[in-house]
């Protein structure tokens, strides 16, 4: 299986609800990491973005049960279940949102097969231009269960 890169919005969604595909995907990544298989890739820019997004006030209001320390440990856990990627090539600006460029750069530098995101429309042009699929978490889960 080719590596994937999960967009930050999936981790936010996983903290908000235990019923969605994002939560299921994070659980799958954890189970796979316990078996020594790191499917998700991350980079320093993505980790820094994840921490900033999780600690943002508007998002914190969506998961008040977690303290700041809990969220920082969650970021550490994401790093622990992800393969590190060194960014050698930048593609900025490529997409409308600079945050999405960080996801694309991580995926490109990791030779990832897919970017998994809730915002598929934000990555229009990535598949034909870079050969990286852009999938929703639900679609990705369906694919790995086949």
Q: Tell me the pLDDT tens digit for each residue of 36-83.
A: 999 999 999 999 999 999 999 999 999 999 999 999 999 999 999 999
Fold of 4-144: Rossmann fold (3.40.50)
The answer to whether the CB of 83 falls within 8 A of the CB of 65 is no
Give the residue ranges of DSSP H helices in the chain: 8-16, 21-34, 44-55, 57-60, 68-80, 98-109, 126-130, 137-144
DSSP label at 113?
Answer: S
User: Tens digit of pLDDT for each residue in 14-37?
Assistant: 999 999 999 999 999 999 999 999
What 3-state class would DSSP assign to 4?
strand
Radius of gyration of the CA atoms of the chain, in A: 14
């Amino acid at each position: 299986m080719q590596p994937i890169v999960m967009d930050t919005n999936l981790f936010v969604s996983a903290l908000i609800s235990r019923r969605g595909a994002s939560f299921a995907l994070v659980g799958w990544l954890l189970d796979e990491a316990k078996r020594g298989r790191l499917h998700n890739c991350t980079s320093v820019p993505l980790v820094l973005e994840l921490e900033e997004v999780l600690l943002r006030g508007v998002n914190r209001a969506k998961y008040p049960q977690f303290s700041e320390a809990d969220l920082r440990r969650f970021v550490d856990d994401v790093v622990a279940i992800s393969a590190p990627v060194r960014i050698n090539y930048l593609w900025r600006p490529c997409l409308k949102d600079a945050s999405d460029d960080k996801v694309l750069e991580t995926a490109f530098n990791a030779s990832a097969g897919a970017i998994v995101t809730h915002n598929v429309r934000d990555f229009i042009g990535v598949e034909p231009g870079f050969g990286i699929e852009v999938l929703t978490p639900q679609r990705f889960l369906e694919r790995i269960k086949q």
